[in-house]
Amino acid sequence: MSQNTYDVIILGGGPAGLTAGLYTARHGLSTLLIEGKQLGGRAWEAHWVDNFPGFPEGISGPELMERFISQAKRFGVEVKEETVVEMNDMGSRKMILTRGGFYEAKAVVIATGIQKKQLSIPGEMEFKGRGVSYCAICDGPFFASKRVAVVGPGREAVEDVVRLADIAEKVYAIPGSGGYTVEELEGILENEKVELIEGVDLESIGGDQVVGSISLKGDEPRELDVDGVFIILESVGTSEILEGAGIKTDEGGCIKVDKTQMTNVSGVFAAGDCVCGGMQIVTAAGEGGRAGLSVLRHVRSLKK
């Protein structure tokens, strides 16, 4: 098993991780970025990004992330496609174990994002990015004056129903067989744009090139014409591997950080969706930049 030492190791290759790496490498810190899935993270899956500054005509998610990746590598960020399995805090040294090696650094930036749970139904993957979305804040504006369905229970789903009702023509709220709580229902029952459909589950998503309909299963199966489907299920945190290092999270699994993006463990920082901030490319990049600058100060303090 190989062992390598760096000034900083970044876990995750989305907008936050790439930006953090850009800052640390550009200022001369040896920087390793470890990504186990797709460089660019969830932003890579975005069909079109209309709200990233500097691109007035918009840009596709893959093209935007290619630019992030190219810039980070230009400044010397080393990228390894490996799966992280453990992290250990050893004071001034942080140890990262992956399936391919054993790495050591003076600081770590956690930018692992979150993975949204999927329904795993016919049509979901086929129309992902073409009408199927997991983020109303990200993609809601594309469905102005259109008909959409929000699938899933819980507070986050209700918030997205209300958010989409402000811009869409019609919103079908489909909590699934579990339903909403009484408190959650209060937020949507009086909205005339919202139609609540309880006691049924989504069976499939249909369409041609983009989403055109959904099929519901239940006592009375039905089909609805919709332009978009927002699947808002529980988020799956990616910070379980950090428990051994004592990284604190809130009740929702979001990593707790201070104003410098540092966690409760000295020398360990976090940025992007894993801290559950703005959940946008631009906010992830901003947090990544702040984390990168904080790492610079931390590593310099160790050298004094």
Q: Both tokens of residue 183?
A: 């408190």
- What mean pLDDT is predicted for residues 157-163? 89
> What pLDDT score does 197 carry?
92
Burial annotation 47-68 (CB, 10 A radius, 16+ → b, else e): eebeebeeeeeebebbebbeeb
- Least confident stretch, 21-25, 69-73, 263-267, 272-276: 272-276
Q: What is the pLDDT of residue 235?
A: 60
Model confidence at 1, pLDDT cuts 50, 70, 90, reads very low
**Superfamily of segment(s) 2-115+235-303:** FAD/NAD(P)-binding domain (3.50.50.60)
22 vs 80: CA distance, rounded Å: 15
- Residue 225: the pLDDT is 96
Overall average pLDDT of the 278-303 stretch: 93
Whether pLDDT at 257 is above 70? yes
How many CB atoms neighbour CB 301 within 10 A?
Answer: 11
* Range with lowest mean pLDDT among 3-12, 78-87, 258-267: 78-87
Beta bridge partners of 224: 214
For the domain 118-231, what is the CATH code?
A: 3.50.50.60
Confidence at 221, pLDDT banded by 50, 70, 90: confident
Confidence check: pLDDT of 297 > 70: yes
**pLDDT, position 90:** 87
Catalytic residues: 135, 138-139
> Is residue 277 pLDDT above 70, yes or no?
yes
pLDDT value of residue 283: 94
Reply yes or no on whether the pLDDT at 128 is more than 90: no
* pLDDT at residue 116 tops 70: no
User: Confidence class of residue 177 from pLDDT cuts 50, 70 and 90?
Assistant: confident
Percent of the chain with pLDDT over 70: 94
Long-range Cβ contact pairs of 299-303 (< 8 A, separation 24 or more): 299/7, 299/8, 299/29, 299/106, 299/107, 302/92, 302/106
Q: What is the mean pLDDT of the chain?
A: 88
In the chain, which segments carry CATH 3.50.50.60? 2-115+235-303, 118-231
pLDDT band at 2 (very low <50, low <70, confident <90, very high): very low
